Structure 1
Amino acid sequence: MMKSKLTLSGAAGNNGSYKWLALALVRALLVILCVMTAVFFLIRIVPGDPAKMILGEYSTPEALKNMHHTLGLDLSLWDQFTRFVKLLFTQGDTGNSIIAGTSTRELIAERAPVTLLLIVIASVLAIIVALLLATVAATHKDKLLDHLIRIIPAVTLGMPVFWVGILFILFFSVRLGWFPVGGIGEGWSGTLHSLVLPAVTIAFSQIPTLVRSLRAQMLEVLESEFVVTLHAAGIPSRVILFKHVLRNSALPTLMLLGVNVSYLIGGTLVVEQVFGIKGIGSLLFTSISNRDFPVIQGIALYCALAVVIISLLIEIISGWLDPRTKGKS
């Protein structure tokens, strides 16, 4: 009898987990569909004629009409949207670039590796520095080190990421000569060396919120009853800190990092422009100035897709680490 109850309980738990995962996937799909629709219509609301961008200011009405037909701009908005959705789901593309004439997917895939590498380096730096600062602040509560570290979020949160990048260039590149002013070096070593300063700039904008969140969570765990019991049992403080406190404090910070993914990607695109890195960011700004809406749509959709996938993965990891978080945004 007891065995049958345990089996039923396990089956119910599995069904609940599958239901939660299915709902998370449905939410992610709905977000992607909403972004896809918004990107399509917002781009077409912005003033400007792509055909005139291609042919020039003094193009004839007949030439403009032919170019509109070539680009499919003479169709109704619904027909354009239907073609856009069909192309996106069948080929994973938003069409050919108006300026370059090549596939948007190929243009983005060519620039994506540098941008992805920059995001990974910046994320790793932000997590490592946030862990160190939050740990020091939490273990030295209300002391000098804690007050100094708590000042960091108050000061740095108001600094625009592009302004921080310019300051870093002036000091570390122009004055000290430690890093290149911009661009990408040759080979793996040159690439990594040239991406250090941009990655630090991006991480600089993420560290304050992570430190503040992780410090608050660590203080809450340090003051909990089970930590007091572990100290009373004679377990070394270092073991308690790294094995129990950090483990129980990391989950809310992990969820916060998932929320900040969109800001991280957006900041990366801006920083690429500041440092002259030929990644997705520079492609986006060039496409905006040229009114190349297929490329703009492609970048917006791929970035939104990346944000949704990363947020979904963090939600799944959080639910796996702590089942109580399932279904919570």
Structure 2
Amino acid sequence: MGRYGFVLHRPLQLIPVLIGISLISFFLLHAVPGDPIRTLLGERTSPEVVASLRARYGLDQPLLVQYFYYVRNLLGGDLGESIVYKVPISDLLARRTQATGFLLVYSTVLSILVTLPLAVVAALYRGRLPDQIIRGFSTFGLGFPTFWLGLMLIIVFSVGFGWFPVGGYGNSFIEHLHHLFLPSLTIALALSAILIRTMRASLLQTLGADFVMAARAKGLSPRWIFNRHVLRNSLIPAINLLGVNIGWMIGGTVVVETVFSIPGLGQLMVKSIFSRDYQVVQSLTLVFACATVFVSFVVDVITVALDPRISQ
């Protein structure tokens, strides 16, 4: 427990984070011009009907009162009811969490599969043609917007070759893999462009470390040295960077799910913002914050497991 003790305080950080996010999201959303009830019913709806619905959802109360009731219901496990979908928000989120979760895990796996071999090749062939090509790929990848990259993949592989669906999620596990390959690849390519540079630099630094030189002097095989010492120690900065970019990945799902018409939390966020569905947007913001903090906690645990130097 000693080595892992310092990461146990991470869940406690969730409390002030959630309070801050709930405050900011609540008041910023209500500062956006537009009336959600009027947007839902249309401009020709009578003022009596609008006032009745506003009173039903508590939108006729002062903002501080609305926030108090929102926090009270949240502490009781009640996320409220969607103004647009007319269903409990917890049910609405439950139906869409699977698609977003699958997309994030799929994207992470693909980014690792892209990053590891390319970073290793770039480090082992430092300054030569393979290294220059891979560094060029990572440089260009940093400059491509996610939505543009997704559209290009659709045009080439969906419209052009017809290998993958243009959008959707599918019904079975195999269909999920098929439908979400291009959206996951979109996120993975953007993320791997960052990870490759970090992983390559870490590999080069570790290859020149004293303990690697000592291992070579002992006559150990290069493959054993690389797998046992170099690769393991070089993974730590890349894993930390991956944890930092989890928030970016979660935010990226908003764009990717919209481009590929995936029925996930990101697409729901966009629709709820345009329809002024306040309660849904606030709940989604909290869900994304919890997911980011949880993943950061997992990354801390993995870092401690990989680095024996961390003891407190």
1:248 aligns with 2:227: no
Which residue does 2:29 correspond to in 1? 43
After TM superposition, give the deviation of residue 318 of structure 1 in Å: 1.9
After TM superposition, give the deviation of residue 180 of structure 1 in Å: 1.2
| Whole-Å separation in 1 of the counterparts to 2:286 and 2:146 | 23
| Whole-Å separation in 1 of the counterparts to 2:62 and 2:206 | 59
| Whole-Å separation in 1 of the counterparts to 2:120 and 2:8 | 36
Letter in 2 for 1:281: G
| Whole-Å separation in 1 of the counterparts to 2:41 and 2:54 | 11
Aligned-residue RMSD, C-alpha: 1.8
After TM superposition, give the deviation of residue 324 of structure 1 in Å: 5.4
Larger radius of gyration: 1
After TM superposition, give the deviation of residue 219 of structure 1 in Å: 0.4
After TM superposition, give the deviation of residue 307 of structure 1 in Å: 0.5
User: Among the aligned pairs, what percent are the same residue?
Assistant: 40
After TM superposition, give the deviation of residue 22 of structure 1 in Å: 4.9
Correspondence 1:268-287 to 2 at 5 A: 268-287=253-272
After TM superposition, give the deviation of residue 251 of structure 1 in Å: 0.9
Aligned residues: 312
After TM superposition, give the deviation of residue 191 of structure 1 in Å: 2.0
| Whole-Å separation in 2 of the counterparts to 1:325 and 1:229 | 22
After TM superposition, give the deviation of residue 195 of structure 1 in Å: 1.0
Cα deviation, 1:41-92, whole Å, max 9, x if unaligned, reads 111111111121232212233222222211101112221111111111211x
| Whole-Å separation in 2 of the counterparts to 1:264 and 1:17 | 26
| Whole-Å separation in 2 of the counterparts to 1:161 and 1:54 | 31
TM superposition score normalised by structure 2: 0.94
1:60 aligns with 2:53: no
1:167 aligns with 2:139: no
After TM superposition, give the deviation of residue 326 of structure 1 in Å: 7.5
| Structure 1: stretches of 5+ with no match in the other structure | 1-12
Contact kept in structure 2, 1:96 and 1:104, CA below 8 Å: yes
| Whole-Å separation in 2 of the counterparts to 1:223 and 1:140 | 14
- Cα gap change, 1:189 to 1:211, in 2 (>3 Å): same
Which residue does 2:178 correspond to in 1? 193
Task: Give the alignment partner of residue 311 of structure 1, picking from 296, 299, 306.
Answer: 296
- Cα gap change, 1:68 to 1:311, in 2 (>3 Å): same
Cα deviation, 1:269-299, whole Å, max 9, x if unaligned, reads 2111111111112212221221111111111
| Whole-Å separation in 2 of the counterparts to 1:22 and 1:184 | 36
After TM superposition, give the deviation of residue 192 of structure 1 in Å: 1.3
1:83 aligns with 2:61: no
Letter in 2 for 1:297: Q
| Structure 2: stretches of 5+ with no match in the other structure | none
TM superposition score normalised by structure 1: 0.90
Which residue does 2:56 correspond to in 1? 70
Looking at both structures, which has the greater relative contact order when contacts are Cα pairs under 8 Å and sequence separation is at least 6?
Answer: 2
Contact kept in structure 2, 1:39 and 1:301, CA below 8 Å: no
